[in-house]
Amino acid sequence: MALQATENAIIRASLNNESTILKRSGQHVGFDFRHVRYLLESLTKKAQLDTGLIDPWCVEILQTFNGLEPEKKTTAELKQILINVTNSYPEIANLIQTYDHNFEHTLHEQQDLDQLVYRLHQKDQTIANENANKDSNIFNTQRDLTAGLVGKTTGLKLLPKAVAKAHLKGDLHYHDLDYHPYAPMTNCCLIDFEEMLSHGFKIGNAEVESPHSIQTATAQISQIIANVASSQYGGCSVDRIDELLAPFAKKNYDKNLELAQEWVAKADRTQFAKERTKKEIYDAMQSLEYEINTLFTSNGQTPFTSVGFGLGTNWFEREIQKAILKIRIEGLGIEKRTAIFPKLIFTIKKGINFTPTDPNYDIKQLALTCSTRRMYPDILNYDKIVELTGSFKVPMGCRSFLQSFKDQDGNEITSGRMNLGVVTLNLPRLALRSQQDQAYFWQLFEDKLELAKEALCYRIARCKEAVPKNAPILYQSGAFGIRLSDTQAVDEVFKNKRATISLGYIGLYEVATVFYGPDWEQNPKAKQFTLDIVKKMDRATTLWSEQYGYHFSVYATPSESLTDRFCRLDQERFGLVPSITDKAYYTNSFHYDVRKQPTPFEKLDFEKDYPVYSSGGFIHYCEYPILKHNPKALEAVWDYAYSRVGYLGTNTPIDRCFACGFEGEFAPTERGFECPTCHNHDPKKCEVVKRTCGYLGNPQARPMVHGRHKEITARKKHV
């Protein structure tokens, strides 16, 4: 009877909103008694007491709280009631009394630099391998990782207390805490290369004028990328590089035609100029490939760089496209290794390269060959990107998409825009906490959604505290499109929805598994539940955008290390839950369970509905067997994807052993990957390439966190 009375009271108080409570932030919110019950369950378990005590406590606490005057219904008063009711059991009362103190202590422990630095130098993989693009053996990377620990500890102190607490507990993740808010840096961007190459720019002591050849233009692009990457913490992209560089290739052609006037017979002059220009285009693009892969920024890594191309149709644009693909197919160095950067993104558009009658269909075939051998390029489907985001552009970095934005004159602006950061919700935790009660899940969800908004608003506010001189390449030399004076506010390039700020999510698969079991993908009710989650996020961010004037977007988080962190924290809290925490990873965003084997077509049909509500960042992948001898199979998937998804990556085995000559897929082990023929795992004598998240990675050379390794090894082929 007591249990029934308690449950009835809980339902009335929680679902009918009979009471509100005043939080320390000054907000009045609906009083959900299940939070109290959950706390008592956790503390009773920790104190190893009989759980039969909980129901009588709940009845007394609820009756006492409901008997208070409205102005006295505060979190402080509720805490005191809990202490009074549980006073007969000092171990519980003391835990409640010290609840906030324990948080402060946890915060202090997280900020113990001596301990963190020791863990870094002991190669604690949660610190040393958090970013698979950083080689923690190298001095300047070690310096950056150490500086990042300082940034994190300082950043936690700067964050709003509730946000810092939620981050430490794993309710949400405040991304890139090693850089922001310690410094008011921005995240990823689409650099306005056209503005910079047309009008010149300044880096350090050098005033750089507009280039007069494609060789100089590509050299300047690499210089700009290096400087931009050192002034922000996210990826950067070159949009439509074939069209961007074509005018500079034309300058080469004109010079070569002039040269031909003097040295070549009249009938052969045009052909001479074309052949010479073609060679110069190839050399320039090869130099760009090598320069990007040999760059080392101030944050100890190769810049996360993406290059978009595919829409140009004139001779210069076509030659640039072909050069990009041929160079990537050729590979780097004597061993012809696969280039990890830049990420290549090839755009497919009907009328340009989709069908055999289109003028650039031959380049599509070259792109298919490149993907089967090097995994890049990924593809963008032009019409679908316009449908999802309002206009065409490549993503910023690996997957962050800008939405349509027009200036005061009505011109569509894409380049020169940026993202101000990401905060990701731990959705599987909310599902686990709900104990299969969907009404309770939605209440928890709304609560964390408000907290995420507070975190995102803080990100914006902190970014606005920068001054143009903090990052001249971004704010004064044209990378962000608008050149600001020393005294102008950086908000000029952020406000009016010019910048995006992203609400991320992870683990829709695990959420639905809590409520519908691990094989829910064919259950329409289960899928609709997951779609309702991203719909609610989309609706919330739309309201926030109108309220604050920045474009809040829903972002399918790539979660390179977060897939490990959230699951690890929840495993400690909930134990080994089948198909949820026992895997050692959470599934990226909306993706189909990687352990299953739908066909590529089934996978795309399943996933295509989610980016409609998370157009701020998304990508789809399909896992294939070796494709080198069957590019037509890949083309069938590309063609099928055209009207269904906007952005698609290719995952296919391209590992190579230089010791025995094996080519194919290396075998996973606990320490990484090894050749299945000779068991070689020396990164100097083999090449292992896997898709880490949006970007490719070399896990043998630069190891990744445990959860990501487990997720990669769990992936099944879609055939």
Pairwise CA distance, residues 348 & 371, whole Å: 14
Q: Phi first, then psi: what are they for 621, rounded to 5°?
A: -130, 155
Q: How confident is the model at residue 53 (pLDDT cuts 50, 70, 90)?
A: confident
Q: What is the pLDDT of residues 279-323, one digit of tens each?
A: 999 999 999 999 998 886 555 567 889 999 999 999 999 999 999
646 is catalytic: no
- Phi and psi for 503 in degrees, rounded to 5? -95, 110
Q: Is 613 a catalytic residue?
A: no
Cα–Cα distance for residue pair 284/217, rounded to 1 Å: 8
Pairwise CA distance, residues 575 & 585, whole Å: 13
Q: Are 600 and 649 in contact (CB under 8 A)?
A: no
Which one of the listed residues 19, 148, 185, 188 is annotated catalytic?
Answer: 188
Question: Using CA atoms, how far apart are residues 551 and 561, in angstroms rounded to an integer?
Answer: 26
Output the pLDDT for position 117. 47
Catalytic residue among 155, 694, 697, 707: 694
Catalytic site includes residue 457 = no
- Does the annotation mark 400 as catalytic? yes
User: What residue has token string 């706390």?
Assistant: 39
The structure tokens listed for 650 are 């290719």
> Where does the pLDDT of residue 142 fall: very low under 50, low under 70, confident under 90, or very high at 90 and above?
low
Cis amide linkage into residue 342, ω under 30° from 0: yes
**Mean per-residue pLDDT for 461-476?**
97
Nearest CA among 712, 634, 642, 638 for reference residue 673: 712
Helix (H) / strand (E) containing 262: helix 241-263
Among 133, 187, 227, 299, the one annotated catalytic: 187
Return the closest-CA partner of residue 211 out of 283, 148, 284.
284
Is 398 designated active site? Answer: yes
What length does the chain have? 719
Asked if 400 and 555 touch (Cβ cutoff 8 Å), the reply is: yes
Among residues 396, 418, 657, 675, the one annotated as catalytic is: 396
Known catalytic membership, residue 694: yes
Exactly one of 555, 585, 610, 695 is catalytic; which is it? Answer: 555
pTM, 2 dp: 0.84
Give the span between the Cα atoms of 70 and 315, in whole angstroms.
Answer: 75
Q: Which of 195, 521, 560, 607 is catalytic?
A: 560
* Mean pLDDT over each residue of the chain, to the nearest integer: 89
3-class SS of residue 234 = coil
* Cis before 558 (ω within 30): no
Q: Is 188 a catalytic residue?
A: yes
The strand pairing partners of 555, in sequence order, are 504, 617
What span, in angstroms and rounded, lies between the C-alpha atoms of 658 and 337? 11
Strands (E) in 374-449, as ranges, are 378-381, 417-426
Which single residue is written with the structure tokens 């050749």?
675
Instruction: Count the Cβ atoms, other than its own, within 10 Å of residue 599.
Output: 12
pLDDT digits (tens, 9 = 90+) for 7-49: 454 444 443 435 677 665 455 666 667 777 777 887 887 778 8
Q: In angstroms, how far is CA 620 from the centroid of its own chain?
A: 13
Q: Round to whole Å and give the CA distance between 530 and 509.
A: 8
So where are the chain's domains?
1-106, 111-158, 190-389
Q: 400 near 360, Cβ under 8 Å?
A: no
Q: Which of 115-124, 369-378, 513-522 has the lowest mean pLDDT?
A: 115-124
State how beta strands 20-22 and 28-30 pair: antiparallel
- Is 231 marked active-site? no
Determine the pLDDT at residue 297.
Answer: 56
Each residue's pLDDT tens digit, 201-237 = 999 888 999 999 999 999 999 999 999 999 999 999 9
Write the burial class of residue 71 (CB in 10 Å: 0-12 exposed, 13-18 middle, 19+ buried): exposed
Q: What is the model's pLDDT at position 255?
A: 97
What are the DSSP E strand ranges found in 266-315? Answer: 305-309
**Catalytic: 592?**
no
Active-site residue, from 398, 463, 537, 657: 398
Looking at residue 116, its pLDDT comes to 46
307's tokens: 């290059």
Residue 444 confidence (pLDDT): 95
Identified catalytic residue from 14, 400, 434, 651: 400
Cα radius of gyration (the chain): 27
User: What is the DSSP code (8-state) at residue 138?
Assistant: S
CA distance 220 to 193: 9
pLDDT in tens, 513-565: 999 999 999 999 999 999 999 999 999 999 999 999 999 999 999 877 899 99
Q: What is the mean pLDDT of residues 566-573?
A: 93
* 379 three-state secondary structure: strand
Query: What average pLDDT does the segment 416-440 reach?
Result: 97
User: What confidence tens digit (pLDDT) does each residue in 71-116 have?
Assistant: 778 877 888 888 888 888 888 877 776 655 444 444 444 445 455 4
Distances (CA, A) of 590 to 505, 506, 597, 642: 9, 7, 16, 19
Q: What percent of the chain has pLDDT over 90?
A: 70
